[in-house]
Amino acid sequence: MSNARAAHLSRRGILAAGGALGLGVALAACGDDDAKSGSSDKGTTAAKSGPWTFKDDRGTTVKLDEVPANIVAFVGVAAALYDYGISVKGVFGPTRTKAGKADVQAGDMDISKLTVLGNEWGQFNVEKYAALAPDVLITTMFDGAGTLWYVPDESKDKIAKLAPSVGISAYDRQLTVPLQRVWALAESLGADMTAGKVTDAKKRFEAASARLRAAAKAHPGITVLAGSAAQDLFYVSGTGLSVDLEYFKALGVNFVEPSASVLKASGGWYESLSWENVDKYRADIIMMDDRTATIQPADITQATWKKLPAVKAGQVIARSPEPIFSYDKCVAMVENLAKAIETAKKVN
């Protein structure tokens, strides 16, 4: 295997920790980089003029003469900006399902009004990107090297020549950090961060977090496992690198997870188990990756899965390993875990 290929698989593999788009090419979300889609005729919806400067999580400062109007972003980042009143011209990453509906990572956006540059891993139509005359490209990062998520290695140099990029890190930090960074980004782009909808969402997130902390404290014996399902493997996440799990653990949630020595093989992210060994770790609640590249709980047919105490007790909830980093979208994921802990039966 070439070093380039190994690096590619390494980056894809890291999110199996939280359930990965890195479960393999065969599990990539549907899509076609040449698929026809509409294009939004609006850029930034909030009005702001004059020079624009933003320092991203690589330490790179982007300076433009005007606030960017033609924004292209990873779909999850675009969805977060949308919640703050900022629209984009184009997106890349899981945007629509096989049925043609909005992917879970698209949030509340009307995907029919977006130019989709690529719907799955490795897809990024550079010609379409150039035609949008982008002012800036914005995406997340899931490693410490500043690798731009969903920007293909083979075309990253061409892409970089067309517009400056902004990277928001979702690596080895708690959920509140990228939430604050996207907040700052949206504000720099002209979003009204004093709007009632925005401030209310932040208050609801803080209340949900307080509820989760209280639930974890009141039910310390309830254990939680984060998993992700593929055809041949079940991935058990460690809590050390994923923004959501790090945050939940800091709030007191009692996770069952592989040891550091076991996690080392995946760079600290996850342990892969055969379905025959899916009962290696027992927990009272199982959080399962909700992304379309993974198999959802209702579609898991393995008998060993169905025999797990948490599954038999109906104590399986959804998890979003790649959160949409707006307070509005992160409220539900915190509330759902709090409710699950509050109502769970001790089954292990």
pLDDT score of 127 more than 90: yes
For 270, residues 6+ apart whose C-beta sits below 8 A from its C-beta are 16, 17, 18, 20, 228, 235, 236, 237, 238, 258, 263
Residue pair 38/115 in contact by the 8 Å Cβ criterion: yes
Estimate to the nearest angstrom the gap between the alpha carbon of 282 and the chain centroid. 26
- Looking at residue 273, its amino acid is L
For 240, residues 6+ apart whose C-beta sits below 8 A from its C-beta are 172, 246, 260, 263, 268
Residue pair 201/328 in contact by the 8 Å Cβ criterion: yes
pLDDT score of 29 more than 60: no
For 137-178, what is each residue's pLDDT tens digit?
Answer: 999 999 999 999 999 999 999 999 999 999 999 999 999 999
For position 47, what pLDDT does the model report? 52
pLDDT score of 38 more than 60: no
Cβ-count burial of 4 within 10 angstroms (0-12 exposed, 13-18 middle, 19+ buried)? Answer: exposed
Comparing C-alpha atoms, which of 127, 122, 100, 121 is closest to residue 37?
A: 100
Render the burial of 256-280: b for 16+ CB within 10 Å, e for the rest: bbbeeeebeebebbbbbbebeebee
Q: Any idea which residue has 């948490």 for tokens? A: 310
For 41-80, what is each residue's pLDDT tens digit?
Answer: 344 445 567 899 999 999 999 999 999 999 999 999 999 9
Beta-strand pair 233-237/270-274: antiparallel
